[in-house]
Amino acid sequence: MTLTADTSPGTARGTARRWRERLLSGGSWTVLALLVVVLAVIVVINPSFAEPVSLMAFAKKAAPLVVLAVGQYFVIVSGEFDLSVGSLVGAQVVIAARLIDGEEALTWPVLGLMLAFGLLVGLVNGLVTTLLRVPSFIATLGMMLVLFGAIRLWTGGAPTGALSEGFRVLGRKGFPDVPGQFQVPYALLVALVVVGLAVLVMRRPFGRSLVAAGDNDVAATYSGASVWWLRTRAFLLSSFLATVAAVLIGGYAGVTAQVGQGLEFMAITAVVLGGVALGGGRGTVVAAMVGALALEALFTLFNQLALPSTIRPAVQGVIIIVAVAYAARRRRT
């Protein structure tokens, strides 16, 4: 939170003012307020949404975006972008389906392969950006196209094969695993673990150095940081989490030719909505998570209003511009 000299703690008016500033600051409190408002509107329209089963269904659906947003957060806070995560999710799901092809015994070996492939993509993104000095916007845009094209080429345009039941457990099932009963989706647990670990990582020297590098990479370099390696690790984390998201999405939605499409922009929108500054140096993991939930809630609201799903990209575009403009306005003052 920013420093506000004129707030007097203790008095009711001071408290009210402090909250107003928090909520309008454009940081995590603002997006949290937005999330609460959107959820409240959904409940008003459709009171059954407030029931635990519906909320859990919402969490299950939102979990992959939360995981992707956390990955994107690492990259954005270090001052870069990762546009390749959507294609990577698509590629991973298609690879998994084709290689596993319904064979339960292949689940673990293929997961290992996906992990290696994800890390390779992250490493290439990171090294091309830092060592070859290609702006990450271009480097990851290129990676996005390469992955997209390579998968088309490999599958001949239509994905084949099938995921094993074991593969789909994380994205589809929950605890306790009794049909018809209330259950906590595994996807929610995965997302919470990811967020929890990310919060811890950001409190470690690595996390602080990453934000400092995003804030001022010259100062970070002159303080002895290896900025190239910090950023490369951020890309590795992003690709790793995209792989995790691929497992959740594959389990939840199965294999289609469109899987993963547009997820990179959803993740970036979520992060920006959470008040994480583009260009780096400002914002928290929790804010990115809340941004993802708010975006997902907004889409749920559109469903409730029976708006066509084709409106989503337009809304997302407006959100991303408004959120960045709001942040810019805040920084000017």
* Binding stretches for other proteins (CB under 8 A): 1-3, 204-206, 208-209, 211-212, 215-216, 218-226, 277, 281-282
Helix axes 285-304, 52-77, angle to 10 degrees: 130
Residue 247 near residue 44, CB atoms below 8 Å: no
CB closer to other proteins out of 2 and 258: 2
DSSP 254-293: ---TTTTTTHHHHHHHHHHHTTPPTTSS---HHHHHHHHH
The residues with which 175 forms a beta bridge, in sequence order, are 184
Which of 117/228 has CB closer to other proteins?
A: 228
The nearer residue to other proteins, 13 or 204, going by C-beta atoms, is 204
Q: Which amino acid is at 76?
A: I
Nearer to other proteins, 208 or 329 (CB): 208
Distance CA 300, CA 49 (A): 10
Smallest distance, other proteins to C-beta of residue 324, A = 16
Give the nearest distance from C-beta 61 to other proteins in angstroms: 34
Nearer to other proteins, 54 or 226 (CB): 226
Q: Give the nearest distance from C-beta 271 to other proteins in angstroms.
A: 16
The distance of closest approach from Cβ of residue 141 to other proteins in the complex, given in angstroms and rounded to an integer, is 27
- Measure the CA–CA gap between 39 and 297, rounded to whole angstroms: 7
State the Cα–Cα distance between residues 73 and 28, nearest whole angstrom: 13
Shortest reach from residue 129's CB to other proteins, in Å: 19
Query: How near is the Cβ of 209 to other proteins at its closest, in Å?
Result: 5
- Classified as helix, coil or strand, 225 is coil
Closest approach of other proteins to the CB of residue 261, in Å? 34
Write down the least CB distance from residue 311 to other proteins, Å. 35
DSSP designation for 26: S
| Dihedral sign for Cα atoms in the order 242, 246, 247, 252 | positive
User: Based on CB atoms, which residue is closest to other proteins, 157 or 205?
Assistant: 205
Q: Which residues of 64-101 are buried (b: 16+ CB within 10 A; e: fewer)?
A: bbbbbbbbbbbbbbbbbbbbbbbbbbbbbbbbbbbebe
Question: Between 12 and 218, whose beta carbon lies closer to other proteins?
Answer: 218
Nearer to other proteins, 44 or 219 (CB): 219
Q: Which residues pair with 174 in a beta bridge?
A: 185
Report how far residue 247's alpha carbon sits from residue 68's, in angstroms, rounded to the nearest whole number: 12
